[in-house]
């Protein structure tokens, strides 16, 4: 069983009210049949996907409408009850589960598609829609979602937006800060902010939606999203390559960008240790073997013959110039699915015991040096130190595994990893956010003045601090 977060990290509970029978009765009147109170029933909502943090909430609420979210927050604001907004609970930094007894506000039943415009490609939907379900709906209309994640089968679009999730398509379609056109958000006092515009261009005043994208539920609860969706590519090709050094991975990327240009949609890399774990734990084998590094390239375009020809020309040149030691191109769906091994690395790592996860942005040339340095620093005290990630976006996923959680191992990793990242002017969180686990390290990526300004925004929008407390920002002085 996971040790409660408040005990493991010695956090002090803030002076919020405690849940009373009258509170539960109010919520049951508001949404009969959608209030969860039993200890066993509440348990899955209290533990994160990694099983690394655990809260002690006694109540889960499942609203279906923005009006219900408004009423819940208005009541909690008046009563000074803390609230933990929760989507699919697939976050990796402890942001989606309570630290103490915060009421869990689940968006699981807010899963309606409101509208889709086939001319503009703009989708409007409730925050609890599952990413994969949205993608399936769009594919029938000839479109796709602009983001794709390993957790797509359970993560919610509202949670994706709240954490500014990155994922596998960012190289091609950009981040949610560009594709999200509008949001509907309920503020801490229960008032609804309707900025659910479906316009590509709107230059009137401050862009308020940007405040909520990536705010991890600390400034408001996202209830609906308007998002620009690209057309489904008619041709998707995947190349899986083996490289003998990280320098060759980088050189291959430069060549790849020059030769594939507008059809390049993903450039992912993984080290041999990642591949070994995927093969051992998930019984999946890669199309290429015996390389220190592997690269997965995805292209998407409108002409399969043209794209395949470009990809084959690139592969020929990469092999002839010695950049790539082995490689294969997949064009049919079956092969493409087989080569999506990159998405399964996170899952394979969970079979190794406890995982210390770091999601970092670095100058591309230095990306793998951190893995090498951490490996040398930890030696035998860690089971595995692996590196993989979105090389096209300069995003490294550094993962360290051990039989079980160890405080001394954590002390050897942190703040070493953050100091190393700061020296390279990198970011300590490229796409996972800060949540609970990283909030006290924000100063490695942001100047003090910026943190103070963020705390002022929080104090203005949530004066009682009831929304997702203990997360994202260090406690205000």
The pLDDT value given to residue 4: 92
Close Cβ partners of 179 (under 8 Å, ≥ 6 residues apart) = 146, 147, 173, 227, 228, 229
Two structure tokens written together for 187? 């503020």
Span 319-323, average pLDDT: 95
- Candidates 46, 68, 69; CA nearest to 56 is 46
Q: What is the DSSP letter of 126?
A: E
Res. 413: pLDDT tops 80: yes
Which of 1-5, 366-370, 423-427 is least confident? 1-5
- The band of 339, judged by pLDDT with boundaries at 50, 70 and 90, is low
pLDDT at 11 over 80: yes
Angle, helices 416-423/369-378, rounded to nearest 10 degrees: 150
Pairing of strands 83-86, 60-61: unpaired
Query: Residue 26 has which token pair?
Result: 């109010």
Task: Round to whole Å and give the CA distance between 471 and 456.
Answer: 15
Phi, psi of 420 (to 5 degrees): -60, -45
pLDDT surpasses 90 at 10: no
- CA dist., res. 42 & res. 36, Å (int): 6
Check residue 306 and give its pLDDT: 92
Q: What distances in angstroms separate CA 269 from CA 25, 48, 183, 273, 297, one per listed residue?
A: 52, 27, 34, 12, 9
CA 356 to each of CA 244, 393, 412: distance values in angstroms, whole numbers, following the listed order: 27, 22, 12
Q: What is the DSSP string of 176-242?
A: HHHHEEEEEEE-TTS-EEEE----S---SS--THHHHTTSTTSS-EEEEEEEE-PBPPSEEEEEEEE
Cα–Cα distance list, 425 to 93, 165, 171, 419, 444 (Å): 21, 21, 21, 10, 9
* Residue keyed to tokens 């508001």: 30
Neighbours of 204 (CB within 10 A): 7
CA distance 219 to 31: 24
For residue range 45-86, what is the model confidence (pLDDT) as tens digits?
999 988 889 999 999 999 999 999 999 999 999 999 999 999
pLDDT of 41 over the 70 cut: yes
Residue 334 predicted with pLDDT over 80: no
Average pLDDT of the residues in 35-44: 96
Tokens representing 304? 């399969």
Q: What stretch of H or E contains 116?
A: strand 113-117
Average pLDDT over residues 257-262: 94
Domain 113-228: state its class: alpha beta
> Is residue 338's pLDDT more than 60?
no
Please tell me the total number of residues recorded for the chain in this structure. Answer: 477
Q: What CATH topology corresponds to 5-106? A: 3.30.43
DSSP class of residue 17 equals P
Could you tell me which of 418, 436, 425 has the C-alpha nearest to residue 474?
A: 436
- Chain centroid to Cα 39, Å, comes to 28
pLDDT higher than threshold 80 for residue 476: no
Cβ-proximal residues to 287 (8 Å cutoff; 6+ apart), any chain: 240, 328, 330, 335, 338, 339
Q: State the average pLDDT for the chain.
A: 94
103-106/192-195 β-pairing: unpaired
At 246 the pLDDT is 97
Q: Where are the domains of the chain?
A: 5-106, 113-228, 235-347
d(CA 443, CA 415): 11
Name the token pair of 397. Answer: 């996923």
**Start-to-end Cα distance in the chain:** 34
pLDDT band at 146 (very low <50, low <70, confident <90, very high): very high
Q: How far apart are CA 254 and CA 267, in angstroms?
A: 11
Is-contact 264 318, C-beta < 8 A? Answer: no
Whether residue 421 contacts residue 396, with contact meaning beta carbons closer than 8 Å, is answered with: no
Q: How far apart are CA 170 and CA 263, in angstroms?
A: 13
Residue 52 confidence (pLDDT): 86
- Whether residue 477 is predicted with pLDDT greater than 60 in this model: the reply is no
- Split at pLDDT 50, 70, 90, the class of 330 is confident
Q: Calculate mean pLDDT across residues 440-462.
A: 96
Q: How sure is the predictor about 170, in pLDDT bands with cuts at 50, 70 and 90?
A: confident
Backbone angles phi, psi at 100, to 5 degrees: -120, -120
Classified by CATH at the fold level, domain 235-347 comes out as Alpha-Beta Plaits (3.30.70)
């Amino acid at each position: 069983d996971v040790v409660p977060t408040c005990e493991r990290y010695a956090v002090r509970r803030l002076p919020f009210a405690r849940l009373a029978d009258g509170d539960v009765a109010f919520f049951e009147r508001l949404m009969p049949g959608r209030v969860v109170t039993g200890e066993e029933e509440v348990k899955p909502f209290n533990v994160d996907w990694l099983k690394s943090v655990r809260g002690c909430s006694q109540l889960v609420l499942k609203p279906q409408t923005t009006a219900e979210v408004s009423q819940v927050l208005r009541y909690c604001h008046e009563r000074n009850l803390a609230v933990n907004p929760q989507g699919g609970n697939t976050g990796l930094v402890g942001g989606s589960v309570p630290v103490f007894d915060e009421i869990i506000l689940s968006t699981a039943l807010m899963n309606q598609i409101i509208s889709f415009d086939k001319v503009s490609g703009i989708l409007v939907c409730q925050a609890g829609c599952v990413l994969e379900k949205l993608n399936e709906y769009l594919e029938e209309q000839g479109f796709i979602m602009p983001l794709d994640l390993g957790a797509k089968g359970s993560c919610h679009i509202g949670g994706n937006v709240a954490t500014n999730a990155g994922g596998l398509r960012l190289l091609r379609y950009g981040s949610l800060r560009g594709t999200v056109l509008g949001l509907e958000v309920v503020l801490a006092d229960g008032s609804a902010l309707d900025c659910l515009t479906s316009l590509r261009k709107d230059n009137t005043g401050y862009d308020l939606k940007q405040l909520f994208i990536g705010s991890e539920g600390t400034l408001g609860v996202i209830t609906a999203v308007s998002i620009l969706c690209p057309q489904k590519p008619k041709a998707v090709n995947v190349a899986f390559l083996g490289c003998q050094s990280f320098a060759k991975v980088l050189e291959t990327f430069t060549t790849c960008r020059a030769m594939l240009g507008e059809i390049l949609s993903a450039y992912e890399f993984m080290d041999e240790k990642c591949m070994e774990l995927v093969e051992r734990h998930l019984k999946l084998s890669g199309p290429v073997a015996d390389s220190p590094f592997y690269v997965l390239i995805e292209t998407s375009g409108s002409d399969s013959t043209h794209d395949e020809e470009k990809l084959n020309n690139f592969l020929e040149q990469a092999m002839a110039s010695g950049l790539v030691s082995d490689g294969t191109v997949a064009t049919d769906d079956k092969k493409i699915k087989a080569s999506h091994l990159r998405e399964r690395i996170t899952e394979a790592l969970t079979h190794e015991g406890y995982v210390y996860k770091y999601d970092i942005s670095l100058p591309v040339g230095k990306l793998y040096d951190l893995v090498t340095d951490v490996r040398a620093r930890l030696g035998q005290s860690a089971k595995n130190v692996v590196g993989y990630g979105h090389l096209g976006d300069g995003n490294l996923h550094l993962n360290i595994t051990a039989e079980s959680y160890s405080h001394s191992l954590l002390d050897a990793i942190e703040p070493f990893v953050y100091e190393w990242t700061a020296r390279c002017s990198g970011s300590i969180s490229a796409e996972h956010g800060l949540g609970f686990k990283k909030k006290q390290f924000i100063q490695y990526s942001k100047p003090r003045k910026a943190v103070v300004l963020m705390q002022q925004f929080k104090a203005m929008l949530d004066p009682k601090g009831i929304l997702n407390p203990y997360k994202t920002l260090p406690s205000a002085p």
